[in-house]
Structure formats: structure tokens, C-alpha cells
Amino acid sequence: MKKWLMPALQTAFVALLVVSFYATSWFGEHYVLRAEPFDPFDPFYGEYVMLQYPDLEAPAGISDGAIYFTLTEGEDGYAVIGRIEENPFFGAINGSKYDRRIVAPQLENFYVEQGHGPELEEAVDLEVTIDVAPWGSIRPVSIAPRKE
């Protein structure tokens, strides 16, 4: 039986990973973020758009390094920082702050169809739709040029 152990465990692991992403959408909330791209290429994953978020800025008094935050919908419909702490709390997104800008590992890049990256880079003003689970994990759902 041990010869089937590895494929079974590996399948279970991949399934768990996939379910964790779907669970973020099933139980999470929908947010749309303003985003700006820069466009690199990963030899294994393919083409993706690196993103930064002009609305995600830390208030004064928060020092650089690891931070924990939640999102809330702003008056114009785009997400902004809700609560931000230097210590972890339940439901927080793990991120880091550097020079007022806030980034989270799961928000940094969005994989796109081959050849689609430069097109989004030219558009500059983008919007990214994400799902945020109650436990703080993120699932990027879509990316498109912003209509403002």
C-alpha cells in the first residue's frame, strides 16, 4: 500500500490548496481595489502583473515592517484600509508597510494570459477584484482597466 501513499497525499495536498482558495470566495467578502501595474515575467508561472495599490496607505504612527489590516469599502466603491495594527488580530490580512505603502503577499501579483500583461501595463489605471475570507486570506478574482 505504501506505493500509493505519496500520490494520495500529494492529491490531498493539492485538493486542500484548491479548496482553501474556493473557501475564501464562499465565505469571504468582495472588494474592488484601485491598482497600478508593473509587468514582469516568471519563467515557471508565466506572465503576471505586479501590482501596487494607491489607496492602501498606512496612517501616521504605524512603523515600517509587518502589519495586520482589514479592508472596508470607501465612498467611491473602492476598498480602503479599515483597521490597521502592528500586532496580529483575527480576520486580519498579513502584510508589510514600507514608506506609507502597504503590500500583502497575496495582493502583489496577478497572473494573466500570455501577451495580456503589456496591455494592462499600458492602461496603468486598473481595478482588481478580490475576495477576503473572514480569517484574513485573499483570493484575487479578476483584473481590468479602471473606468473612472
Partner 1 sequence: MEWERKIAQWRSEGVIDTETAERIQAFETRQPKKRKLPLLLIIGLIFFALAVFSFIAANWQAIPAIAKVGMVVVLMWIFYILAHFSEKKRFGHPVIFRILGYVMFWASLIVTGQTFHLGTGSSIVPWALFIAAIAHFFIWRHSAFTVLAFISGITILSSAAPGIGLIEWLLFIAVTLVWFFLSKDGLAMIFSWLLLFGSGLLVWSIWDIESPLVPIWTLFALTLLLLLIPQDKQRLLSPLYLLVGGIQLIVFLAIRGESDMAFAELTMLEAIALAIAGAAVLALAYFRERHVMWLGVLGLVGFMLYDETAIVLAIAAELTALAYLIIAQRQDQPLALGFVYFIVVQFVIYVIYAWERLDMSLFFLIGALLLFALSGIAWWLNRKKEGAVT
Which spans of this chain sit near partner 1 (rule: CB under 8 A)? Answer: 2-7, 9-11, 13-14, 17-18, 21, 42, 44-46, 48, 96, 104-111, 113, 139-140
Nearest to partner 1 of 22, 76 (CB atom)? 22
24 exposed, middle or buried (CB, 10 Å; 0-12, 13-18, 19+)?
buried
Nearest to partner 1 of 22, 89 (CB atom)? 22
Nearest to partner 1 of 27, 76 (CB atom)? 27
Task: Report d(CA 52, CA 31) in Å as an integer.
Answer: 15
Closest distance of CB 75 from partner 1, Å: 28
Closest distance of CB 67 from partner 1, Å: 13
Nearest Cα residue to 30 out of 64, 77, 62, 63: 77
Residues facing residue 57 across a β-bridge? 101
Closest distance of CB 48 from partner 1, Å: 8
92, 109 contact by CB (below 8 A): no
